[in-house]
Amino acid sequence: MKNIFVQSEAHAGTTLPAKQRGVVLATSLIILIIIMGITITMFRSTHLMERISGNSREKQRSFQSAQSALAYAEWWLNQKSSNVKADICSGTTLTELQVCTIPVNLSDLTYFPFYSGYAPPKMTVAAGGGLAGSDTTNDINYSKNPDIYIAYMGLSAPDYAPFYQITTIGYGGTGGFAGSISILQSSYKLPRGSSTNLGKL
């Protein structure tokens, strides 16, 4: 009688050679780095869009402030009519709105004394701007009242009506000149008995 021996081997599982395992690890790291790069790019893009949106809102707010001040200055001239007198304006600011003899030079606004006593309706002003807190009528505090400067430009032909240049500066919700500002100018004349807005505003 013959004894037959059968030798068997148990395989717990198939393992990759060390070289192949290194390739898989390197590939996984590369894919991970690519995913992280895409995520960081998307985050930065979202943050940039938020800043652009915020800057656009600030620009619109400062423009609306300057526009309101411009309309007020034109209304003020209409109320004064022929009683408007041009004076030499001096100092750093004007305590009351008046007509000056020197037109504004936009390259150096700090040289001219602006009037800052007008506050547009429903506009809350607070030093430094910022959010308006629990106030539901205004979503932001404006950093400063708009500035107004009116200059007498002489008499316009052919009716020899008084001719004026109105300059206004509107500020957004951050830091005056350090933040968003809008500068508007209007040419305005007051014929006798009526007013004509040459700025078409």
Domain annotation covers residue 9 = no
Residue 191 lies in a domain: yes
Percent with pLDDT over 70 in the chain: 68
The pTM assigned to this predicted structure is: 0.65
Instruction: Please tell me the predicted confidence (pLDDT) of residue 143.
Output: 82
In a domain, 8, yes or no: no
Number of domains in the chain: 1
Output the six-digit token pair for 125.
């002003």
The 10s digit of each residue's pLDDT in 15-55 is 656 656 667 777 888 888 888 888 887 777 776 676 666 67
Contact residues for 95 (Cβ-Cβ < 8 A; gap 6+) = 115, 117
Task: Write out the residue range of the structural domain in which residue 155 sits.
Answer: 22-197
Locate 46 and state its tokens: 């979202």
pLDDT tens figures, 118-169? 988 878 777 666 555 555 454 667 888 899 999 988 887 777 778 889 999 9
- pLDDT at residue 102, rounded to an integer: 87
7 found inside a domain: no
What is the pLDDT averaged over residues 69-73? Answer: 93
Look at residue 143 and tell me if it is in a domain.
yes
Residue 179 is assigned to a structural domain of this protein: yes
Asked, for residue 17, whether it belongs to a domain, the answer is: no
Mean pLDDT of the chain: 75
For 153, list phi and psi in degrees, rounded to 5: -110, 0
Which is more confident, 64 or 125? 64
Radius of gyration for the alpha carbons in the chain, expressed in angstroms and rounded: 35
In a domain, 14, yes or no: no
